């Protein structure tokens, strides 16, 4: 049965969809089948990241309305055959716990990982996803309001029974002095009250990969960061390698 990984944040625009897509690629490049479920109704972006925006015939909204079978809404990534996507509904619609459970029930045996790319914030969508998740990845940038949001999201996941909860620091500047007003990464870890599992660097090529629908080059530093993150989630002891 697939491990269900939820990707959340308090504040918006911190890199949840980037983490969902590139973590999914990292698993899938190692031949682990991955299904990305985009829960951000009305704010679709993973179709662009995977280069499949022209191929979305059915989406989460169609599944919810019953106007297609779940399998009809699954799109395969052209550059990564083990990675598939169900795109977010084009218009705002509530994604219930039942909908998420139905998809997991139908396809959980076909995938090793199902990644739930959640909307920002600590609303009902996150609660519904939390009830279905095995692991919650909370994304935060080195920004005080994002860190506070991460703590709120982590607390919500805890209250909805997500036993494994981890912090991913996104868009971390390579130069420590640019972290200001945050002094160091420990401050983010302490402020979020979550255990760190990965750091992703601020990097124009990572943004370009999301905008162009092409994979991250394997020489890119963040390619290695996502590979390491995927291995840690598999339970391997890969040092965080900074501080
Ligand atoms: N490591 C990075 N380096 C540079 N840019 C990044 C990085 N990660 C994400 N971005 C950029 O930041 C913006 C927001 O990222 P993304 O869409 O992944 O965030 P999000 O948390 O999913 O947003 P939302 O809350 O709207 O769903 C995008 O333009 C993305 O390309
Ligand atoms: Mg997003």
With respect to residue 241, please indicate whether it lies within any of the assigned structural domains.
Answer: no
In a domain, 144, yes or no: yes
Would the CB of 170 count as within 6 Å of ligand 1? yes
9 lines ligand 1 (CB under 6 A): yes
Residue 133 within any structural domain of the chain: yes
- Ion ligand 2 residue ranges (Cβ < 5 Å): 16-17
Total-model pTM: 0.97
**pLDDT at residue 12, rounded to an integer:** 95
Pocket test for ligand 1, best of 6, 11, 16, 18 (most atoms within 8 A of CB): 18
243 assigned to some structural domain? no
Question: Token match 């080195």: residue?
Answer: 142
CATH code of 223's domain: 3.40.50.300
Q: How far is the CA of 11 from the centre of ligand 1 (A)?
A: 11
CB 14 within 8 A of CB 123: no
**Domain membership flag for residue 238:** no
d(CA 57, CA 131): 28
d(CA 214, CA 93) in angstroms, rounded, equals 29
Identify which ligand lies nearest to the alpha carbon of 121: 1
Ligand nearest to the CA of 14: 1
Tell me the residue range of the domain where 58 lies: 3-233
State whether residue 75 is helix, strand or coil.
strand
pLDDT reported for residue 243: 46
Ligand 1 site, residue 171, Cβ cutoff 6 A: yes
Q: Tell the residue number behind the tokens 């969902």, with chain if given.
A: 20
The protein residue with its alpha carbon nearest to ligand 1, atom 25, reads 12
Q: For residue 200, which atom of ligand 1 is closest to its CA?
A: 1
In-domain check, residue 240: no
Question: Given ligand 1 and candidates 8, 10, 13, 217, which is best to mutate, with the most ligand atoms within 8 Å of its CB?
Answer: 13
Structure token pair of residue 74:
């699954």
Instruction: Tell me the pLDDT of the chain (243 aa) as tens digits.
Output: 999 999 999 999 999 999 999 999 999 999 999 999 999 988 999 999 999 999 999 999 999 999 999 999 999 999 999 999 999 999 999 999 999 999 999 999 999 999 999 999 999 999 999 999 999 999 999 999 999 999 999 999 999 999 999 999 999 998 766 677 777 889 999 999 999 999 999 999 999 999 999 999 999 999 999 999 999 999 999 998 654
Q: How many A from CA of 23 to the centre of ligand 2?
A: 14
Structural domain contains residue 139:
yes
Between the CA atoms of 110, 52, 92 and 120, what dihedral angle is there, to the nearest 10 degrees? 80
Cis peptide before 181 (omega within 30 of 0): yes
**For residue 206, is it within any domain?**
yes
Number of domain units in the chain:
1
Tell me the three state secondary structure of residue 165: strand
Ligand 1 site, residue 18, Cβ cutoff 6 A: yes
Q: Which numbered ligand comes closest to the C-alpha of 10?
A: 1
Ligand 1 atom 29, closest CA = 207
The pLDDT of residue 229 is 98
């Amino acid at each position: 049965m697939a491990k269900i990984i939820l990707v959340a944040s308090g504040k918006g625009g911190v890199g949840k969809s980037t983490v969902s897509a590139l973590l999914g690629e990292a698993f899938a490049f190692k031949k682990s089948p991955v299904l990305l479920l985009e829960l951000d109704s009305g704010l679709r972006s993973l179709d662009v990241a995977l280069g499949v925006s022209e191929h979305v015939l059915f989406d989460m909204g169609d599944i919810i309305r019953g106007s297609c079978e779940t399998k009809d809404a699954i799109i395969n990534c052209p550059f990564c055959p083990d990675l598939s996507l169900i795109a977010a509904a084009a218009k705002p619609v509530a994604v219930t716990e039942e909908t998420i459970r139905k998809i997991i029930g139908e396809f959980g045996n076909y995938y090793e990982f199902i990644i739930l790319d959640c909307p920002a914030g600590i609303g009902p969508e996150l609660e519904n996803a939390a009830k279905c998740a095995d692991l919650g990845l909370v994304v935060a940038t080195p920004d005080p309001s994002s860190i506070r949001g991460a703590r709120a999201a982590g607390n919500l996941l805890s209250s909805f029974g997500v036993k494994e909860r981890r912090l991913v620091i996104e868009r971390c500047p390579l130069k420590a002095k640019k972290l200001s007003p945050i002094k160091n990464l420990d401050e983010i870890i302490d402020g979020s009250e979550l255990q760190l599992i990965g750091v992703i660097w601020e990097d124009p090529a990572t943004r370009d990969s999301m905008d162009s629908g092409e994979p991250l080059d394997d020489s890119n530093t963040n390619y290695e960061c996502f590979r390491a993150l995927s291995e840690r989630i598999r339970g391997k002891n890969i040092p965080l390698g900074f501080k």
